[in-house]
Amino acid sequence: MIAVHSVPAAFSAADCARIVALTATAPSRDARLVGQARDHNLRRADLVWLDEVPGSEWAMDKIMDLVRVANRDVFDFDVTEFAESPQVAQYGADREGHFAWHSDIGDGRLAERRKLTVVVQLSDAADYSGGDLELMPGTNVINADRTQGAAVLLPAFVLHRVTPVTRGVRRSLTVWCHGPAFR
């Protein structure tokens, strides 16, 4: 079976609150698909790119540490860089925020080199309903940990989705690790 790796409390509640506060006043963009296509039937969310937010560098340092350990202990992928900015996604009930089934490897010079996806749960699970991050690493669907600060790391080719948010707002931090094509 393909590995999906969870790290409970990868970020503290204070870390999550700090990221949310840093990005709260930053300009957000309507989420798009690979190739800059927009399809609200497939994805409806607002994004802030963390590299554009002053004072957020420490978050990427924590993510690099998570990836270093998980790749050594679980995946053993040929990971060479983080070629894309981390994104903070906001899925709100007001827009029925969601992301349909997809994998993170796609067309495009960066997306085709994605090896690992890292998703950190920034919201307290009590603050929203729906918005489950569901993963399909094999024939069964599993739910990612909804605990604030939990991280899930998965191969970028694993199918996953965010179910529609029906109450409140779900926020998450996502980044991809890149390397040579899988062989």
Domain ranges of the chain: 5-32+40-178
Write the pLDDT tens digit of every residue in 103-156: 999 878 888 999 999 999 999 999 999 999 999 999 999 999 999 999 999 999
CATH architecture of 5-32+40-178: Sandwich (2.60)
pLDDT at 178 over 80: yes
User: Where residue 32 falls among pLDDT bands split at 50, 70, 90?
Assistant: low
d(C-alpha 90, C-alpha 8), whole Å: 21
Across the range 95-99, mean pLDDT stands at 92
Transcribe 17-67 into DSSP letters. Answer: HHHHHHHHTSPPEE---GGG---TTTEE-EEEEGGGSTT-HHHHHHHHHHH
Predicted local confidence at residue 19, as pLDDT = 97
Q: What is the pTM of this model?
A: 0.93
